[in-house]
Chain A
Amino acid sequence: MQVHLETFLAMNTRLSVLAPGADAVSGARLARRVRAVAAAQERRMSRFRADAELAGLNACAFERPVRVSATLWRILTACGEHWRRTRGAFDVAWQAAADVGQSGFSRVRLNPDERSVRFASPEVRLDLGGIGKGVALKAVETALRRMGMTSGLVSFGESSILALGAMPNGADWVIGLAEAGDLVNTGGSGLSLRDACLSTSGTGQGAAPTVDPRTGEVASPERLVSVVCRCPVEAEVVSTALLARPAERDWILQQYQPIRAIEFALDRRGGFLERRVAWSHG
């Protein structure tokens, strides 16, 4: 069977598309489409690119209400919704919580009549790092399905992995931890996926830290949370929230049913590091 694999930079990480059954020409066409979708998402959600819509919003929204595109409006209202559902554990405005005890997104004013955003204090900045890949992956999924792809795997920086359909032999896609020496360590035989997304949050090498917006504490680098659910956005939101605020685990999981989640702890045994399952759900 021909299989096309293509990897490129997107949103400050790498995006890989694995397309079983695709020859070089059709595979490249799929990859081109994914590149275009990801690039469009980056132009909207980056806080680093001067020409990105979010960067412009961050620069001006304390001074005056900023009208945003319909797409960014949908993303920001979704962020507000997830902020409420997770009791603030997921907070794209976490930098505003430098004052411990303050909730970041509570200082973001969304005006649906004008589709505008305003920050209530000058230190507020929006960072879509905890949801952006999920949003982009959802757009990628839509694009690939429109192009007729029914089986494939898309990895967005390895922290967000979308499984389209099943593998060509009809079995589920099975994904384990990249660092684990043995798949048993990832909870048996890895996490099986079919039309689902796996999101993994942790503070691994080079990864941005995950911060509890309420306390400002950085999540321990020895923790790793993987979440599987149908929606790429929800998978990323929940893994971020669970890592940021473990005490709210039961509440958060209850809000996003049906969902599977595993937390891996890092054990130090006899000088060796080993992942073990700290808890699992679903």
Chain B
Amino acid sequence: MGDSQDQGVSPSSRRAFLKAVAAALGAGAGLTDLPWLSPLRAEPVGRAVSDRVRIGMIGIGSRGGLLMDNLLQTPGVEVAAVCDVYPAHLQRALAATGGKAKAYGDYRALLDQPDIDAVVIATPLHLHAPMSLAALSAGKSVFCEKSLALTIDECKAVARAASASPHVFQIGHQRLFDLRFLTALDHMRAGALGPITQIRAYWHRNLSWRRPAPAELERLINWRLYRDRSAGLMGELASHHLHVINWILDAPPISCVGYGSINYWKDGREVYDNVNLVYRYPDGVSALYDSLSSNQFHGMEVQVMGPKGTMELETGRMFWEAQQEPPAPQAMVDLKKQLEQGGAGAARLAAPTWRPELKSDIKGVPILADWDGGDGTALSLAAFANAVRAGQRSAGMIDHAYRSGVAALIGLQAMEEGREVAWPGDYRA
């Protein structure tokens, strides 16, 4: 491990971090199959040089920058190297490390740096597979942003390499560490919804993704719009929710049908600006997913439904299906008290017919009453750092990465080919 101090982790940040760790472990306490949380149970890291994990950042754009900011606040982590092909990103990242990190324009040179323990890859989707494979081959642990890869074959190749590697591989699905999702899953496993019969998820935005770029940098900067670099909405957004759906149902989809088009942002892009899919899961359960780039009214949500109720995971609320006994009209309650005390008076009771609350009216109950706003990103990076430090591979993580990445891609394939696409099988086969 490295030889320099933590980069700017204050005692208060450290305390807040440890508190968040304790909360995550508490939320997942009822679940026995969350091995990726186990690195968080490690003893608090000391200041010894040998405790420090040295990380190289590959891709330091918007998401990569956010991950790096979190890593700089993670005890026992040193961002020792940064890499980006875009000089402005590189300079900003270098400055954030106080100039202590080594800067690279080529990720292969970063991988050649022997004292780097692990890399965080936050690059365009088409680079995830080659970079992950190269990093694992170079003996580095890998934290790869979602989605796993651009093609199904690449997903299989990365998953196989990660399985064969003695090093840690983690995918950037922060919801695995989000207290709301952990608590909700705990309730679901305890039967709060009954058997899950359908999941609906959506992610709607009103933005084009296009950024101003000179012609020679168009595909570099606007990579999300081009099919040879991006899976569009499926890779950038849907993979998050498909991951959650696979996690909840504890299975990958059996098959998928869908329809997508470019119906609004007709600006030369090659990826759909709206997608609409139905995934078939075991036991007759279906998952519906849609995503728009031209309307954000409904925002984003994952709705898990069963005969006992509905959970909305992004807003963290539970709606009971079975009607509870309704409240008595207040005027009747008041009249009862008056009669009990020997008095009597008028009751303001008459009104048009009272109706039980409708979905649109009810607020539900919070799944996690004292959520601190954290989305799991900080904890996911801490778990990764701890796993690297302990040399402890994150069991189950490769399956999460593979299932979500491939689910996104069979959805894309179903839309592009206009047919039902079956699950392509396990990467181990």
| A144: min CB distance to chain B, Å | 16
Interface residue A57 (Cβ < 8 Å from any Cβ of B): no
Measured in the bound complex, the distance between the Cα atoms of B358 and A186 in whole Å is 29
Interface centre among A2, A18, A204 (most CB of B within 10 A): A18
A159 touches B326 (CB 8 A): no
B352 touches A224 (CB 8 A): yes
B350 touches A168 (CB 8 A): no
Interface residue A171 (Cβ < 8 Å from any Cβ of B): yes
Interface residue A203 (Cβ < 8 Å from any Cβ of B): yes
Interface residue B353 (Cβ < 8 Å from any Cβ of A): yes
Interface centre among B326, B329, B339, B352 (most CB of A within 10 A): B352
B348 touches A180 (CB 8 A): yes
Residues in A with CB closer than 8 Å to B331 are 178
| A165: min CB distance to chain B, Å | 13
Interface residue B363 (Cβ < 8 Å from any Cβ of A): no
A5 touches B336 (CB 8 A): yes
**Interface residue from B340, B344, B345, B351 paired with A200 (Cβ < 8 Å):** B351
B354 touches A174 (CB 8 A): no
With A9-B326, A183-B348, A190-B346: A168-B354 Cβ-Cβ less than 8 Å: no
Interface centre among A157, A158, A204, A224 (most CB of B within 10 A): A158
Which residue from chain A places its CB closest to the CB of B333 in the assembled complex? A5
Interface residue B332 (Cβ < 8 Å from any Cβ of A): yes
**Interface residue from B349, B354, B355, B361 paired with A175 (Cβ < 8 Å):** B349
B327 touches A158 (CB 8 A): no
Residues in B with CB closer than 8 Å to A177 are 348, 350-351
Interface residue A71 (Cβ < 8 Å from any Cβ of B): no
Interface contacts beyond A13-B356, A157-B354: sample of 10 additional A-B pairs, CB < 8 Å, sorted by A: A3-B340, A7-B332, A18-B332, A153-B335, A155-B332, A167-B339, A175-B346, A178-B348, A178-B349, A186-B350
> Which residues does B use to contact A, with CB under 8 Å?
323, 325-329, 331-333, 335-336, 339-340, 342, 344-356, 358, 361
> Which residues does A use to contact B, with CB under 8 Å?
1-3, 5-9, 12-14, 16, 18, 20, 133, 153, 155, 157-161, 167-169, 171, 173-180, 183, 186, 189-191, 198, 200-208, 224, 226
24 contacts between A and B (CB under 8 A): A1-B340, A3-B339, A5-B332, A7-B328, A9-B356, A14-B327, A14-B328, A14-B329, A16-B329, A18-B332, A18-B335, A153-B335, A153-B347, A157-B354, A158-B329, A159-B352, A159-B353, A160-B353, A167-B344, A176-B346, A178-B331, A179-B351, A180-B348, A206-B358
List 4 A-B pairs, minimum CB-CB distance, nearest first: A204-B352, A207-B352, A206-B355, A174-B346
